[in-house]
């Protein structure tokens, strides 16, 4: 096993997006060249997040759902219970992965996860994310600081899709939204396990260290 071929896994459960966002920033700010990479899985209480390229015109009728401005790339999207969030806190320089490769590998991880469920996911030119029958099933939003990534992906599993009608998801006005439960029955925890294996394969992690506490340690 080569150095840093293991990755720490944290299952955060149902959290407030704002808290997880701050934890990611702190982790990335304080990490050193000796810090192991981590993958965090979470679900969030209902929230719209607006990326740094976001335009207010794409927020149509948010209602009671809060809007949080994030430092990830991209436009507005929705997060809620029943959607798997995968946060990838990787040292890209150490792994010798460019930002373009990072995006490709994350997308491929999602495609491979869906393939394990006999679902055909695909990329659409000019429309970031992964789609099934031209409907969006997964989104990406990333930030790189000091050569290290944070934020990551969201994959719709079994959630209330209505809030997506209150926005133009990712700034797209002509794209529908779907989820795994509309195609097959599969619990969230199974999706996390499949996604973890696919991410490990794409990024060359040979072992996973699952941390017992849902608390994100500060160092």
Q: Which of 170, 191, 195, 216 is catalytic?
A: 170
Q: Can you point out the beta strands (E) in the chain?
A: 6-15, 38-44, 47-50, 67-69, 76-79, 83-89, 122-124, 127-132, 135-145, 148-156, 176-177, 207-210
* DSSP code for 91: B
What residues does 177 pair with on adjacent strands?
136
CB 86 within 8 A of CB 199: yes
Distances from the Cα of 98 to the Cα of 51, 127, 149, 198, 217, angstroms: 21, 20, 10, 19, 27
Per the CB < 8 A criterion, the answer to whether 203 and 95 are in contact is yes
148 catalytic per annotation: no
The structure tokens listed for 184 are 């097959």
Cβ neighbors of 194 (< 8 A, separation 6 or more) are 113, 116, 117
Let me know how long the chain is: 219
Q: Which pair of tokens denotes residue 169?
A: 């998801």
Give catalytic residues, as residue numbers: 170
């Amino acid at each position: 096993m080569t150095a840093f071929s293991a990755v720490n896994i944290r299952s955060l459960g149902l959290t407030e997006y704002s808290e997880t966002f701050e934890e990611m920033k702190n982790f990335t700010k304080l990490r050193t060249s000796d810090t192991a990479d981590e993958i965090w899985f979470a679900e969030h209480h209902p929230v719209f997040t607006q990326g740094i390229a976001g335009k207010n015109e794409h927020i149509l009728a948010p209602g009671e759902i809060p809007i949080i401005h994030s430092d990830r790339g991209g436009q507005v999207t929705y997060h809620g219970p029943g959607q798997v969030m995968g946060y990838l806190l990787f040292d890209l320089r150490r792994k010798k992965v460019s930002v373009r490769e990072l995006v490709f590998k994350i997308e491929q991880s999602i495609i491979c996860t869906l393939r394990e469920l006999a679902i055909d996911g695909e990329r659409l030119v000019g429309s970031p994310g992964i789609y099934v029958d031209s409907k969006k099933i997964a989104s990406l939003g990333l930030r790189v600081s000091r050569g290290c990534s944070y934020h990551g992906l969201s994959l719709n599993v079994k959630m209330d899709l209505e809030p997506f009608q209150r926005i133009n998801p990712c700034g797209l006005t002509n794209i529908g939204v779907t989820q795994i439960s509309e195609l097959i029955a599969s619990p969230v925890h199974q999706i996390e396990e499949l996604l973890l294996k696919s991410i490990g394969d794409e990024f060359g992690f040979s072992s996973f260290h699952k941390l017992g506490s849902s608390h994100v340690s500060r160092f």
